[in-house]
Amino acid sequence: MARTELAEDPSALLLVGATVIALSARMRSEPTQAVAAMARRLGHDLRGPLLNLRMGLQLLAQAEEEEREALATSLTGELDRTERLMAALVDLARSGEPARWSCRLASIVHQAVREVPMPEGVELVLEVEDTPPAELDPDQQLQLFRHLLRNAVLAVGDRGRIRVRLRGCEARVEDSGPGVEPERVQQIFEPLVSSFPDGAGLGLTICRRIVQGHGGDIRVERSQELGGACFVVRYAGDKQDG
């Protein structure tokens, strides 16, 4: 959602309201302690940039002309942080019960690759076999692979290698980044846990919800060939239509 939409399009406010309602319904199904922890962290994460925006706007109104550009840049950064968190909340609200219909996972993977920008210094290797139709939610699967690809891009930075492999009912997204520390392997899919300073900490939680909602499993391990993280998604073979 573009920053100007909330100010210029009243329907955008309705979308935010609907998102909050859907997210609240999802959170009510979680254990009480998990909901409380998530609410506290989300409140903290949203409060920070909003307070910074308020103070920045006050300073901007009083600033000299030469100071305004620096303040505007700072405010843009805070808006970007807020947008990333809101986008993650929207995705979380949409990661509920899958709406299954017959589709090909290989086509979805290729679409995700097209939609996620790759830095010029990043080599992307695709090893995607054609797959028979399967009963999946295509929107959720696209969301899943976009998250995994963006995670890999953040891990490698401006230079590195990413490989996407799909064989049968197993998909792997690997990178040449620093990988995941062994002590964090069990935590990485928990809500509000992020390996990146500007991360919302919800992307991998959303991935796990989507995969488990389709009766599959997801794990992270060390990529033996690239050295970084390797996210493995596996669905039951009997989910395929054949």
Question: Are 176 and 137 spatial neighbours (Cβ–Cβ below 8 Å)?
Answer: no
How far, in Å, CA of 17 to CA of 190, rounded? Answer: 25
Q: Between 119 and 81, name the one with better pLDDT.
A: 119
Closest among 131, 148, 139, 152 to 208, alpha carbons compared: 148
CATH superfamily of 101-239: Histidine kinase-like ATPase, C-terminal domain (3.30.565.10)
The 10s digit of each residue's pLDDT in 152-207 is: 999 999 999 999 999 988 999 999 999 888 877 777 877 655 554 454 457 788 88
Q: Between 150 and 81, name the one with better pLDDT.
A: 150
Where are the chain's structural domains?
3-93, 101-239
With a cut of 70, say whether residue 224 has pLDDT above it. Answer: yes
Position 219 scores a pLDDT of: 94
Q: Between 108 and 32, name the one with better pLDDT.
A: 108
State how far the alpha carbon of 147 is from the alpha carbons of 64, 92, 141, 201, 213, in Å.
42, 12, 10, 11, 16
Q: What average pLDDT score do residues 35-52 get? A: 58
Q: Between 42 and 108, name the one with better pLDDT.
A: 108
Position 32 scores a pLDDT of: 45
How far, in Å, CA of 169 to CA of 55, rounded? Answer: 51
Q: What is the pTM of this model?
A: 0.64
Q: Between 35 and 124, name the one with better pLDDT.
A: 124
Closest among 58, 38, 34, 36 to 46, alpha carbons compared: 38
**Which of the four pLDDT bands, split at 50, 70 and 90, describes residue 241?**
very low
Q: Between 56 and 39, name the one with better pLDDT.
A: 56
